[in-house]
Structure 1
């Protein structure tokens, strides 16, 4: 069942209603997670629901595009608590902050290197087994 033409036209004109629709999908996902006990974030479930509706053309992209762009444009507002924490803890701007930054960068690099090595090893293992299978024919 597609959205009615009048509702679709109203959504197409109002950025606020489109943003509310995106938030509504998030809330629906949260509700499903809590009711069904799904071990995933509600936002992921909600956006998956929206993706299904978009893919099946039950929901038009124009019905959410401007609202989603508006939310993304103002995403910095969602990170204000982090900025306030830095202001409250001035030591993060000094040597302590540099140590924390080093740990974050080093751990990120370690994860990336370990992942690359694991993928490379799996790729070589699979290539060797494919070669053995072809040679045994």
Structure 2
């Protein structure tokens, strides 16, 4: 293994360790707070605060986050396999579940688009 590959591998492992540490710390915060918020959400909030404060730059975690995004399908396999236990529920109520998923997805997309549009217009009005 040459030095370039070793350097890239070391960087990837370090970035994944930072992301995992944020997740673990967020999970601990969720347990301590007693709030019904998943630890991953706390971890993402911590990551956002680190980015906003400038202590951490998004480019510093690019390789680790990119690898996790590329392998994201693997994280959904256990959830998909658990659906096999609820076959009768899906046969009876599947259309309602799909309707809720479709409507909520559409709602999230519309709200996101409107929010981005409003922020862009606001930032254009307040340019120096």
**TM-score after normalising by structure 2:** 0.60
Distance 1:107 1:43, change over 3 A: closer
Q: How does 1:35-114 map to 2 (within 5 A)?
A: 35-85=32-82, 92=87, 97-108=90-101
Report what 2:14 is aligned to: 17
For structure 1, the residue ranges without an aligned partner over 5 or more in a row are: 1-9, 116-137
Contact 1:30/1:41 (8 A) holds in 2: yes
State the aligned residue count: 101
Distance in 1 between the 2:82 and 2:36 partners? Answer: 30
Distance in 1 between the 2:34 and 2:82 partners? Answer: 33
**TM-score after normalising by structure 1:** 0.56
Equivalent position SS for 1:58: coil
Structure label with greater radius of gyration: 1
Equivalent position SS for 1:82: helix
Contact 1:18/1:66 (8 A) holds in 2: yes
* Most deviating of 34-43 and 97-106: 97-106
Please, what is the CA RMSD of the aligned residues?
Answer: 3.4
Structure with more relative contact order (C-alpha pairs < 8 Å, separation 6 or more): 1
